[in-house]
Amino acid sequence: MKIFVKEFLLVVVMLVLTSAVFAAPRTQVKSDKDTVSVTITPTHYKHLLILKANKAYMGAAVEVQDGTGIVVASSRIYKKKMVIDFYDIPYGAYSIHVVKNNKTFQFNYTKKQDPEI
């Protein structure tokens, strides 16, 4: 009988501790994804870049400008990820501008000619 009571009390204590852990309020920690709103990462394909944006930047304008400032391509962000394709654009230096609510992110990209050509 004493063993049964000890086991019963052990199970009750474990249930109380488990419920306390799950009932504790979650604290929200700001991650790096919350602080940086727009990033551009290269892919293993030569002429493709992936633009990643937070939800706050949905609908932002994206412009690709050449070295002289002429807009070569423009679009809007509709999803969290967007592919920027430089395949049909001539070789040279480009800047990518992401604009929303007077906040601007600027990234530089240089399309280099293949040494084999």
CATH of the domain at 63: 2.60.40.3080
Q: How do residues 58-93 score in pLDDT, each as one tens digit?
A: 899 999 999 898 999 999 999 999 999 988 888 999
pLDDT value of position 36: 55
* Residue 2 CA neighbour count, 13 Å, CB half: 0
Task: Quickly state the pLDDT bin for 23 (edges 50, 70, 90).
Answer: low
pTM: 0.65
pLDDT at 35 over 90: no
CB count in 10 Å sphere of residue 93: 13
Return d(Cα 29, Cα 90) in angstroms, integer: 44
Least Cα distance to 65 among 41, 93, 91 occurs for: 93
Q: Residues 20-41, buried b or exposed e (16+ Cβ, 10 A)?
A: eeeeeeeeeeeeeeeeebbebe
Return d(Cα 81, Cα 20) in angstroms, integer: 39
pLDDT at 31 over 80: no
Output 38 or 6, whichever has higher pLDDT: 38
Domains identified in the chain, total number: 1
Residue 65 belongs to a domain? yes
Structural domain harbouring 97:
36-111
Return d(Cα 87, Cα 45) in angstroms, integer: 10
Residue 86 belongs to a domain? yes
Task: Quickly state the pLDDT bin for 43 (edges 50, 70, 90).
Answer: confident
Residue 44 belongs to a domain? yes
CB count in 10 Å sphere of residue 113: 9
Strands (E), 8-116: 38-42, 48-53, 61-66, 71-76, 81-85, 92-100, 103-111
Least trusted range by pLDDT, from 6-10, 14-18, 76-80, 94-98: 14-18
Task: Quickly state the pLDDT bin for 21 (edges 50, 70, 90).
Answer: low
